[in-house]
Amino acid sequence: MKVLCYGMQEAEIPIFEEANKGYNFDLHFTKELLNKKNVEDVKGYDALVLFVNCDASKEVLQKIKSLGVKYIVTRTAGFNHIDLDEATKLGYTICRVPQYSPTAIASLAFAGGLSLLRKIPYIYDQTKKGNFKIDSQMFAKEAKNSTIGILGTGKIGFETAKMWKGMGSKVIAYDPYENEAAKQILDYTTFDNVISQSDLISIHMPYFKGKNDDIINADVIKNMKKGAILVNSSRAELVSLPAVIASLKADHLGGYATDVFPNEAEIINNNFNNKFPENLKVIEELISLYPKTLVSPHVAYFTDEAIKNMAETSFKNLDQLIKTNSCENKIN
């Protein structure tokens, strides 16, 4: 069984090889993400392990089918990169990794949020320049005196809430489906209350195309506290980036930490050397607002625990698909 794994970094390869010991798949790795230009490369492979930002749209899936690929799994929890209706029509049962390490994502969201709250990027930026003067921009409100708002208290939001609770923060949350266990450490309230009462808002809800695009828009940001910090490790489409930039420039929003971007497939794994193409100027503008902005390249998943679980579950999924033509983690 010849298997091609997309979006692979060097650090992941030994972990994938270890996870493969019980299966002995013939593994092949590429840093590339599947797209319309490189889809011909699937020729000769029996199975594909996709990654976030791979393009498994209708046209690409049809090509994959015509080139003889038998199985497709994604080593991600999200699956908005796959046209599931088309996959079903073509006879593919697609499997995902429903959870690989909620604490991996939560820890980056928490660390980014705490860094902005405690003014860490600004402080170290000054000493890096040899400037040891203390100024008002280093003044911070402590986490234990802050209200943290969590939007979405599923697996990742709950872990993030626990981390803030550990800092002594008051944690409030909005989720249309309340999590009983979370009620022990946070208070559920309305979306509007989370927006208006929080010193820091951490977004952990899923993105549903056409349903919650720009749920954090200019009107919502206006209702946040002056100096509030926003953290997005969920999906870029949930937040209006122009509205965030305008509010940061107007000194209303206090900071924005993000692990996700619009047009991600064009961004991730590229080094622009600060020369961004015209359609990515908004990213350049966001970065220029450092140290009020913290921007990471969709890397929250990149931990020992997460990669191990991604590999183990993907191979288990593939094995089930081969043996039973079905899978406990199927999504279509």
Burial class, 276, CB count within 10 angstroms (exposed 0-12 / middle 13-18 / buried 19+):
middle
CB of 167 to ligand NAD, least distance (A): 20
Which listed residue (12, 96, 235, 312) is catalytic?
235
Nearer to ligand NAD, 128 or 181 (CB): 181
Least CB distance to ligand NAD at residue 173 (A) = 8
- Three-class DSSP category at 29: strand
Cβ 111 to ligand NAD shortest distance, Å = 13
Query: How many other CB atoms are found less than 10 A from the CB of residue 193?
Result: 15
Instruction: Give the integer Cα–Cα distance in Å for 119 and 113.
Output: 10
Judge whether 152 and 203 are in contact, CB under 8 Å: yes
User: SS3 for 178?
Assistant: coil
Out of 28, 118, 264, 285, the active site residue is 264
The residue (of 124 and 208) whose beta carbon lies closer to ligand NAD is 208
Per the annotation, the verdict on 235 as an active-site residue is: yes
CB nearer to ligand NAD: give 47 or 236.
236
The residue (of 7 and 64) whose beta carbon lies closer to ligand NAD is 7
Amino acid at 331: I
The residues that touch ligand NAD, with contacts defined as CB under 6 A, are 77-78, 99, 102, 105, 151-157, 174-177, 204-207, 212, 233-235, 259-260, 298, 300-301
What's phi and psi for 307, nearest 5 deg?
-65, -40
Q: Rounded CA gap, 222 and 317, in Å?
A: 45
- In the numeric block, which tokens belong to residue 331? 């999504």
**In the complex, which residue's CB is closest to ligand NAD?**
154
Smallest distance from the beta carbon of 161 to ligand NAD, in angstroms?
11
28 carries an active-site annotation: no
Question: CB of 173 within 8 A of CB of 149?
Answer: yes
Q: Which of 96, 7, 5 is nearest to 46 (CA)?
A: 5
Of 69 and 313, nearer to ligand NAD (C-beta) is: 313
Least distance in Å: CB of 82 to ligand NAD? 14
For the question of residue 298 being annotated catalytic, the response is yes
Our CB check for ligand NAD shows the closer of 19 and 173 to be 173
Nearer to ligand NAD, 119 or 329 (CB): 329
* 228: nearest Cα among 141, 130, 123, 108: 141
Closest CA to 6 of 20, 38, 23, 308: 38
CB of 164 to ligand NAD, least distance (A): 15
* Omega before residue 291 within 30° of 0, cis: yes
User: What is the rounded CA–CA span in Å between residue 254 and residue 215?
Assistant: 19
Q: How far is CA 234 from CA 87, 202, 288, in A?
A: 25, 9, 22
Considering 86, 159, 298, 312, which one is annotated as catalytic? 298
Whether the Cβ atoms of residue 262 and residue 286 lie closer than 8 Å to each other = no
Find the shortest distance in angstroms from Cβ 92 to ligand NAD: 22
Residues catalogued as catalytic: 235, 264, 298
